[in-house]
Amino acid sequence: MPKHAVLSRLFVLLTIPVLAVALPILPSRAGGWEMVFSDEFNGDALDRNKWATRYLYQNETMDHFTDESQRYRDSQVTVAGGVLNLRAEKKPGADLFESGLIRSHRTFYYGYYEARVFLPSGKGVFPAFWLEADYDQDGKFWHPPEIDIFEYVINGTTDKPNMLHSSSTPPGLPQPFTFVDPSFRTDFRIMVGKDDLNRDWHVAGFVWTPDTISLFWDGRRIYTRKYEWQRKDGQLGPPAHIDLNFAVGGTKWAGKNGVDDAAFPQDFKVDYVRVCQFTESSRGSRQCGDSKFTPDPAEFGYAAAINDMPKPSFTKNTLINGRRPEVGEITAADLSTGIEVSIALKLPEGYPTDKTLLVAAVDKNTGTTAASASRKLDERAFTVRPDGSSSVGVSLPAIRRPGSYRLEARLTADVSDEKGKRYSSAAPLECDTPIAQPLKSRSCQLATFEVR
């Protein structure tokens, strides 16, 4: 999106006939859509193993862009009755609004993205459903690329309740549209509905392929255009995560004519979020889940070498002094001369071994580090276990204080920012260990153990 890059726009909407441009008939593809991610919001709280509640920036704590009038707070993200609710409100005596955001831990390349939403009303509202570049292999983030599936802005003049903005930020020249519904204005990237869009539930659908993007609204195709997910340097960008957020104001767009405080609180409601990727295997289906609005995979299927960026995976069977920590206690005497940790780690094929492995035993009650160690992740670091899996051995200092501990690990890389300044960055990982945690993270919890 990002909100710091939103440009001020001023236009008078004219009723201009727009002709639909038909796509050439594509050859039928075998296979179909395979569900790879979904949240139906059927619980009583947000699933934090699927979602974070802040942006990726500032060490994943960023709670607003530029001069927006809200700050994202966990209290504004609720789940009840099968619906996610992002509420924007101004608390008594406050100058800023509090609102909600969710960001998927999972990342993706390509696929069909669908969310059923109920949009808010009131001057100054700015909810959005979008795809944002996540970390690259070294833990750096890039912008662009980015795709705004939709941004819904009411500012009292140029953006009205019957309009929906949808665009993307590739570098280079504008990419041509190959299909345009009469409701869509290509000059301002806005869909104009006959009625206000915040009166009922709607289904937003989006197909992202290696070279095109297509927006659907309640099953109706709004546009298809050429698009490639690239960084500024023309290389393939990192995989995308999903953002659903409810911003308020901002002087360049949603708040250019002020915010109607009296219209709040307002809610941005989400019934479900689903992601399906195309497969030519027997796992493919005509529909994405039970959605009756799913685009036909025979027309919108695609060929792609990857569906996500391969990541190192910390797996089960971490050993502490030769024992699995979940089997019996580990006493202080056991660890009096140090801690020998054998960590099961799977690297993707061709993954660069220029990372540093950091391991720490963290006190679960205080969050303090009781012991830590590091080693370069080169070929000499790996040993092969009898079962054929690979492991990395690390020696930690002794822990003599009884208590409950959590063993954590991360991989770091030395990288440079755009100005050439060097810094250490945590690489994205997959955490396939016995501990419930987000599958994708920059730090994995390997095991817990008690020292008595």
> 307 lies in a domain?
no
> 308 lies in a domain?
no
Q: Is the pLDDT of residue 89 over 80?
A: yes
Weakest mean pLDDT among 65-74, 180-189, 417-426: 417-426
Task: Clarify whether residues 231 and 334 are in a common domain.
Answer: no
Q: Is the pLDDT of residue 400 over 60?
A: yes
Task: Clarify whether residues 338 and 374 are in a common domain.
Answer: yes
Listed residues 300, 331, 361: the one ending a domain: 300
Task: Clarify whether residues 168 and 293 are in a common domain.
Answer: yes
Task: Clarify whether residues 241 and 270 are in a common domain.
Answer: yes
Task: Clarify whether residues 270 and 328 are in a common domain.
Answer: no
How high does pLDDT run on average in the chain? 90
Q: Tens digit of pLDDT for each residue in 415-431?
A: 988 788 999 999 999 99
> 447 lies in a domain?
yes
Task: Clarify whether residues 294 and 344 are in a common domain.
Answer: no
> 129 lies in a domain?
yes
pLDDT for position 450: 83
Q: Domain of 364? A: 313-451
Q: Tens digit of pLDDT for each residue in 16-52?
A: 333 343 444 444 456 899 999 999 999 999 999 999 9
CATH of the domain at 424: 2.60.40
Task: Clarify whether residues 293 and 370 are in a common domain.
Answer: no
Listed residues 279, 300, 321: the one ending a domain: 300
Task: Clarify whether residues 270 and 413 are in a common domain.
Answer: no
Task: Clarify whether residues 124 and 193 are in a common domain.
Answer: yes
Q: Tens digit of pLDDT for each residue in 140-174?
A: 989 999 999 999 999 999 999 999 999 998 655 56
> 249 lies in a domain?
yes
pLDDT for position 50: 98
Q: Tens digit of pLDDT for each residue in 254-273?
A: 999 999 999 999 999 999 99
| Overall number of domains in the chain | 2
Q: Is the pLDDT of residue 215 over 70?
A: yes
CATH of the domain at 139: 2.60.120.200
Structural contact between residues 423 and 417, judged by C-beta atoms closer than 8 angstroms: yes
Amino acid at 168: S
Task: Clarify whether residues 295 and 320 are in a common domain.
Answer: no
Q: Residue 1's pLDDT band (boundaries 50, 70, 90)? A: low
Listed residues 300, 327, 360: the one ending a domain: 300
Q: If you average pLDDT over residues 303-308, what whole number do you get?
A: 92
256-263's contacts with Cβ under 8 Å and 24+ in sequence apart are 256/8, 256/155, 256/157, 256/158, 257/123, 257/155, 257/156, 257/157, 258/123, 258/124, 258/156, 259/69, 259/97, 259/123, 259/124, 260/122, 260/123, 260/124, 261/90, 263/121, 263/122, 263/123, 263/124
Q: What is the pTM of this model?
A: 0.89
> 191 lies in a domain?
yes
Q: Residue 3's pLDDT band (boundaries 50, 70, 90)? A: very low
Q: Is the pLDDT of residue 106 over 90?
A: yes
Contacts of 199 (CB under 8 A, 6+ apart): none
Q: Tens digit of pLDDT for each residue in 349-364?
A: 889 888 999 999 999 9
Task: Clarify whether residues 273 and 391 are in a common domain.
Answer: no
Task: Clarify whether residues 288 and 320 are in a common domain.
Answer: no
Phi and psi at 190, nearest 5°, equal -130, 135
> 305 lies in a domain?
no
pLDDT for position 334: 66
